[in-house]
Structure 1
């Protein structure tokens, strides 16, 4: 089967090698999936650059790709909830990625049925981002009726976060370029802030929760708009000790990340809030809940560019350097 493999970590090079390998073997709890589409994410490039080695060290060569859509071709003898022919999607388990291939063997606990109204290309935009949002809201302990600020919520993350947060009863505020205002309001956001004409740090206060998609100096600014006891979950900040413990990393990694994330923990103490970093994990149960929510609300993910499998490196470069208004997707032969 055709695959796109990472053969060497290189902080300056994200190119994958197209290589033929045998089909993967299927374990008792696995399903073998014929891949029809795969989402392309910043995480894929972070892995190639070696930026997540401390969180999840991979043995090279590695078939890359974290987010998959496809049709089940065979099932392991312990699998009961899925059958041959089912159309499924998944954020692949951290220790068994490999979406950039014609076939992938996946633990059935990581997969969910694709909503019937979504094409394979649209479905490829859902699992990783939607699970990130769901797990972030769980980590916050987000409660209905409270306020959530999503920084820079006009991109692909916001397009998922806003409807999911609204479905959970949250009051949602975001900021971004005014050219995206009507589209974001259409997703259900309660208040839109034009970042060119309004400084959110001066007009927002006593916010319950923040989803930080920007990182850098913006993280501290967002801490400043939270009420005392508020919760900030960052997708772009630094891992800290709490993150390492939550991920069940080794003791020495817990100590290391405790040191690395100390700056953010100290800032959180200064503002009387809680800081957490999130690295999304596979979870078929959560993904099925998301799929059911999407079906109920008929949410359509935003797609930016669709590439063929042979264009995988163009897609990775697009994610690394292009300005996107939605998801970049690899469409395999046979995908919709």
Structure 2
């Protein structure tokens, strides 16, 4: 079968090598998925550049790709909740990625069933982002009636974060370019701030939670609008000691990441809030919940470009260097 692999870590080259390998054998707790589409993400390029070695030290060569959709071809002896022929999707377990392949052996606990209203290409765009939102909200310990600010909520993350947060009973405020206001309000946002006309730091205060999709100087700005004791989860910040402990990383990595993230911890301490970094993990039950919420809200991800598998490197370059209006997906 065909796969796309990174064969060495290279800060200056994100291209993958197309190879032929044997079809995987499944273990009793796994299913064999014939892949029909796979999402392409900045994370895929970060792995190729060696930027996540501290968190997950993959052995080279490594078949790349973190999220997929496909149909089940075989079911392991210990799997009872999935059947041959079912359409499924997943964010693959951190230690066994490999979505850029014609067939993948997947732990059944990572899988969810694809809602009928989604095409394979649409479904391939959901797992990584939806699980990120679900796990961020869990980390914040949100409760109905509280308020969340989602920075830069007009992109792909916001398109899923807004309806999921609304389904959890939160009041949702976001910002972005004004031409997207109507679309974002339609997703369920209670308030939209046009960043070209208004500064959210002068308009907002006592916010319970922040989902930081921007990073950089915006992270500190977002802390200024928060309630004391509030929680900020950053998708673009720096891992810290708390993150390393949650991930159960070795002690020496906890010390190193504790030092690396000290700036953000001290910043959060200054404003009396909690800073969190997140690296999304596989969770089939959580993905199913997110998929059902998005289906009920009739939310579909925005798709930018679909490439054939053979053009995976064009897709990776698009994600790295192209201006996107949605998700990049490869199709088999």
TM over 0.5: yes
For the 8 Å contact 1:92–1:110, the answer to whether it is kept is: yes
Q: Give runs of aligned pairs for residues 77-88 of structure 1, distance below 5 A.
A: 77-88=77-88
Aligned to 2:134: 134
- How much does 1:66 deviate? 0.1
Q: Give runs of aligned pairs for residues 19-30 of structure 1, distance below 5 A.
A: 19-30=19-30
Is 1:18 matched up with 2:41? no
Aligned to 1:100: 100
For the 8 Å contact 2:223–2:268, the answer to whether it is kept is: yes
For the 8 Å contact 1:30–1:76, the answer to whether it is kept is: yes
Aligned to 1:223: 223
Is 1:211 matched up with 2:211? yes
* CA distance, structure 2, for counterparts of residue 162 and residue 117 of structure 1: 19
The secondary structure found in structure 2 opposite 1:289 is helix
For the 8 Å contact 2:121–2:331, the answer to whether it is kept is: yes
Deviates more, 1:185-194 or 1:88-97: 185-194
When normalised by structure 2's length, the TM-score is 0.99
- How much does 1:85 deviate? 0.5
Unaligned segments of structure 1, at least 5 residues: none
For the 8 Å contact 2:11–2:49, the answer to whether it is kept is: yes
Q: Deviation per CA, 1:242-290, whole angstroms, max 9, x where unpaired? A: 0000000000011111100000000000000000000000001101111
The secondary structure found in structure 1 opposite 2:95 is coil
Is 1:326 matched up with 2:326? yes
Q: Give runs of aligned pairs for residues 5-84 of structure 1, distance below 5 A.
A: 5-84=5-84
* CA distance, structure 2, for counterparts of residue 322 and residue 186 of structure 1: 27
For the 8 Å contact 1:93–1:110, the answer to whether it is kept is: yes
- How much does 1:295 deviate? 2.7
When normalised by structure 1's length, the TM-score is 0.98
- How much does 1:181 deviate? 1.2
RMSD: 0.7
Aligned to 1:160: 160
The secondary structure found in structure 2 opposite 1:173 is strand
Aligned to 1:273: 273
- How much does 1:291 deviate? 1.9
Is 1:145 matched up with 2:139? no
For the 8 Å contact 1:89–1:124, the answer to whether it is kept is: yes
Is 1:187 matched up with 2:183? no
- How much does 1:33 deviate? 0.3
* CA distance, structure 1, for counterparts of residue 322 and residue 165 of structure 2: 27
For the 8 Å contact 1:155–1:324, the answer to whether it is kept is: no
Q: Give runs of aligned pairs for residues 236-247 of structure 1, distance below 5 A.
A: 236-247=236-247
Unaligned segments of structure 2, at least 5 residues: none
Aligned to 1:295: 295
- How much does 1:186 deviate? 1.1
The secondary structure found in structure 2 opposite 1:95 is helix
Aligned residues between the structures: 332
- How much does 1:119 deviate? 0.4
For the 8 Å contact 2:160–2:294, the answer to whether it is kept is: no
For the 8 Å contact 2:39–2:330, the answer to whether it is kept is: yes
For the 8 Å contact 2:145–2:169, the answer to whether it is kept is: yes
Is 1:199 matched up with 2:194? no
Deviates more, 1:290-299 or 1:276-285: 290-299
The secondary structure found in structure 1 opposite 2:33 is strand
For the 8 Å contact 1:210–1:222, the answer to whether it is kept is: yes
Aligned to 1:252: 252
Is 1:90 matched up with 2:87? no
Q: Give runs of aligned pairs for residues 304-315 of structure 1, distance below 5 A.
A: 304-315=304-315
The secondary structure found in structure 1 opposite 2:27 is coil
